[in-house]
Amino acid sequence: MTVNNEQAEHTPVRTKPWVPTFLSSEEFSEVEKQYVMKVIDNKHVFRYSGKKDSEAAQLEKLYRDRLNIKHCLAVNAGTSALISALIGAGIGPGDEVIVPAYTYIASASAVLIARAVPVIVECDDSLTLDPNAIEAAITPYTKAILPVHMKGIPCQMDEIMAIARKHNLIVIEDVAQANGGSYKGKQLGSIGDAGCFSFQQYKLITSGEGGMVATNNDTIYARACVYHDSAYGFWGINEFENVTLFPGENYRMSEINAALGLAQSERIDTVVAKLRNNKSKIVAGIKDIPQIQLQRVPDPEGDVSYSLNFFLKDAETAEKFASLLVREGIPCGTINNNGFADRHIYKNWTYIMEKRGASEQDTPWNCQSYKGNVQYSVDMCPNTLDWLSRAISISLHQSMSEEDCQDAINAIQKAASFLD
């Protein structure tokens, strides 16, 4: 039977399912079971229960060694890590913290919970903080910059650190989406004054829920320790002579979560190597397609590589391209239009746009300590919205085969040919 050209064109490149949703839990093995069962068998699920070989302590050591950094503190969530680091750095009422317009709402929410005010600035074609926008956003009240390594892509840390040092600002890296990434040979999370990781299930490494604060700064670490445990000074472990105790939360990581995170974290480099290999193959196959512009990666060697992102000439073309890819069996979407209000995009941070706190009478914006006047609007970062409206994002996975990679290449090439 002969297939005519029209029929051939509408035969999808791929008919089987695309890659799994999760990176981390696909790696679950006997190691995770062994580590978790060890905790259960020992009947010590709380890290301060007197057990000397705490799983949480082992996880902290693993990250100290990986990052080549002085201090690590395991907590119960990535957001908890951000809050603890902000409090640790002395950020609070009256302060402003610069955050990117493209990040999960938790990045900005953590600033608010620390009682500071988020200042939202533009992202560029890397889909991370635009260094040129940072300096313009600095005011007398600016205390810190919070760069977010989105979708595994390292921020432009040389430029960001130079601006921070020039203006005497604290830098707290949000590494929630980029565990295992690096920038010019340095592990992400070890470059700024503190780095914050997430071990939630959508991340590269999971402990179910969990996070980590990493820092070389003794004061940030000491204050973060005090804040992450409301009774920290009463467990007989308060080794900080120069830090006065103050009220904190209960952000401690359980031993079960730590055991799971420990088993997962021992294979970070193996997983990232597979992801980088897969992404490099696809990029090599599509980089010369004239209709698309690949996302700029500030350090390609440091990309965690679980997301392939590129731009079309305008939003309408991007939506058409996305629909063509879906028709060819490659799930995707424009980052700015996934059929729901994406809380990674600042315009959808409703309670921030409306300056709403838990109490109407007392918010970081109207407290007596704050003398600034930051304003928000849904169109305040037009460059970010433009890049996002033209962006296509395709999820990658460490389990991808040569055939999977080639399917992605063929589908992108085919979609591009239809645009002509």
Lookup: tokens for 47: 């890290």
Closest by CA position to 133, among listed 112, 111, 108, 102: 102
Q: Report CA-CA distances (Å) from 118 to 93, 270, 381.
A: 11, 36, 14
pLDDT value for 3: 37
Predicted TM-score (pTM) of the model is: 0.95
pLDDT for residue 320: 95
Which token pair is 300? 């390609």
The Cα–Cα gap between 419 and 313 comes to 11
Q: Looking at the domain 30-267, which fold is it?
A: Aspartate Aminotransferase; domain 2 (3.40.640)
Q: How many angstroms separate the Cα of 286 from the Cα of each of 18, 273, 365?
A: 18, 20, 47
Q: Residue 232 has what pLDDT?
A: 84
Sheet containing 194-198: give its strands across: 71-75, 211-215, 194-198, 170-174, 142-145, 96-100, 117-121
- Per residue, the 3-state secondary structure of the chain, as one string, reads CCCCHHHHHCCCCCCCCCCCCCCCHHHCCHHHHHHHHHHHHHCCCCCCCCCCCCHHHHHHHHHHHHHCCCEEEEECCHHHHHHHHHHHCCCCCCCEEEEECECCHHHHHHHHHCCCEEEEECECCCCCECHHHHHHHCCCCEEEECCECHHHCCCCHHHHHHHHHHHCCEEEEECCCCCCCEECCEECCCCCCEEEEECECCCCCCCECCEEEEECCHHHHHHHHHHCECCHHHCCCCCCCCCCCCCCCECECCHHHHHHHHHHHCCHHHHHHHHHHHHHHHHHHHCCCCCCEECCCCCHHHCCCCEEEEECCCHHHHHHHHHHHHHCCCCCEECCECCCCCCCEHHHCHHHHCCCCCCCCCCCCCCCCCCCCCCCCCCCCHHHHHHHHCEEEEECCCCCCHHHHHHHHHHHHHHHHHHC
pLDDT tens for the chain, 420 residues long, are: 343 455 445 799 999 999 999 999 999 999 999 999 999 999 999 998 766 789 999 999 999 999 999 999 999 999 999 999 999 999 999 999 999 999 999 999 999 999 999 999 999 999 999 999 999 999 999 999 999 999 999 999 999 999 999 999 999 999 999 999 999 999 999 999 999 999 999 999 999 999 999 999 999 999 999 999 998 877 766 677 778 889 999 999 999 999 999 999 999 999 999 999 999 999 999 999 999 999 999 999 999 999 999 999 999 999 999 999 999 999 998 887 666 668 999 999 999 999 999 988 889 999 999 999 999 999 999 999 999 999 999 999 999 999 999 999 999 999 999 987
Compute the CA torsion angle 402, 408, 410, 415 (nearest 10 deg): 180
* CA nearest neighbour of 344 among 128, 136, 21: 128
Q: Are 298 and 155 in contact (CB under 8 A)?
A: yes
Q: Please report, for the chain, the start and end positions of each structural domain, with discontinuous segments joined by +.
A: 30-267
Residue 376 pLDDT: 98
Show Cβ contacts of residue 389 under 8 Å, excluding neighbours closer than 6 positions. 314, 315, 318, 334, 336, 337
